[in-house]
Amino acid sequence: MGTAYEATRDPGDKFANFSQRVSYLIDPEGTIVKGYEVTDPAGHATEVLADLEAAQR
C-alpha cells in the first residue's frame, strides 16, 4: 500500500522503517488532483483548503 501511494522511503534513509507523511486531494470522481508530501503538519490543512477552493473555481 505504501508503494502504491508513494509513502515509502528509500532503503538508505535513516527513517526507512517509517512511512512518509503524504496526503492527496481527490475530486468527486476519484481522480487525484494534487499530492502532498507533508513536511509541516501544522500548516498542511491550510494548504489543502486553499487548493480545494482553487480547484472548485
Output the pLDDT for position 57.
Answer: 84
Please provide the size of the chain in residues: 57
Straight-line distance from the first to the last Cα atom of the chain, in angstroms, rounded to the nearest whole number:
32
Residue 48 and residue 42: Cα distance in Å, rounded?
12
Dump pLDDT digits (tens) for 3-56: 888 889 999 999 999 889 999 999 999 999 999 999 999 999 999 999 999 988
